[in-house]
Structure 1
């Protein structure tokens, strides 16, 4: 597959904001011509599929400015430097911050590059078990989140019928359904 590779001959950040950068690479294509490629550069993220002891799922309803509506999904967020790259630590932190729930255990589900044509982001999906509402929520200033608990089968049905369109949520639920049930 080497014949498909592009050579990066230069790179720079065109735009920086909280959460991501827009990177511009100067590239050489396999045919020898040069061009530019822009993409979003973001830190890795964690997505948590949190089950209560009763096997219900803790979900969030969050305003999403990019699509102009409230989105039902799973707790998720950036793996921060304070997590020291520990996916489970990031999952525990995000779960507590966004929902006020704490889990007994965590299990890695799958790591994906959700949109590698336009971003270098990597999402680490984690299953959390034994989740109880025993933590204090600590929302970021740009988060508007309500917490709910739903039956897993209802969440699955909402993903399958397209009621839930959040890609991170769909990936976690469908992967869990295909591999764990």
Structure 2
């Protein structure tokens, strides 16, 4: 039932569309849609260019995370390294770039785990999930307006931070599920050299 090949009875069709705002990064839209029963409704949503998140695995079994102030929520957040895709950019290239820029690390092996839609009710954002291992430390290349700390946690400390509500970032919590299942062997990864 989860992958019903005939979902036509659930589909909404765009009838009209207008731009509400257009920034350098995000765009706001309002669409009029025809509902499955023939009535119409409106949908307001954000167009996002897409992003990546990286789960960096250190050789000693710990994971690499970041702490940075996130203006919309007004607090310092703990999260896995991540970043937005440039137009036409390959997600793996973006993941490699973001890991180096934000943490200074490069990885000898990468695995694409999957994707997640962060806020399906109001955003087109899709985040590509990558694992990285065989990490080598180097120099960070932060953007001029980027201020963050790199932190290293054991799986136990990371899991406790999630459970205790000290990690509330949705992409990082989703990655915690991936990490738990990969570590247990329940979910396999296709590792490839960098």
Report whether the alignment pairs 1:66 with 2:72.
yes
Cα deviation, 1:68-110, whole Å, max 9, x if unaligned, reads 11001110011223xx442221111010111111111111122
The answer for the alignment partner of 1:76 in structure 2 is 82
The answer for the alignment partner of 2:31 in structure 1 is 25
Distance in 2, matches of 1:139 and 1:18, equals 19
The answer for the alignment partner of 2:155 in structure 1 is 152
Report whether the alignment pairs 1:117 with 2:121.
yes
Given the two structures, how large is their TM-score scaled by the length of structure 1?
0.90
Distance in 1, matches of 2:137 and 2:24, equals 29
Counting matched residue pairs gives 178
- With 155-164 and 64-73 compared, the bigger mean Cα shift is at 155-164
Contact conserved, 1:53 with 1:130, CA < 8 A, in 2? yes
Cα deviation, 1:3-31, whole Å, max 9, x if unaligned, reads 22111012232111132111111212223
The answer for the alignment partner of 1:6 in structure 2 is 12
Runs of 4+ more than 3 Å apart: none
Alignment of 1:164-175 (within 5 A): 164-175=167-178
Structure 1 residue 153 displacement after superposition: 2.1
Cα deviation, 1:32-91, whole Å, max 9, x if unaligned, reads 22232110110111000111222221111010111111001110011223xx44222111
Given the two structures, how large is their TM-score scaled by the length of structure 2?
0.85
Distance in 1, matches of 2:183 and 2:113, equals 9
- With 93-102 and 155-164 compared, the bigger mean Cα shift is at 155-164
Distance in 1, matches of 2:127 and 2:182, equals 18
Other structure's SS at 1:137 match: coil
Give the counterpart of 1:102 among 102, 106, 111: 106
Question: Structure 1: where are the runs of 5+ without partners?
Answer: none
Indicate the RMSD between aligned Cα atoms, in angstroms: 1.6
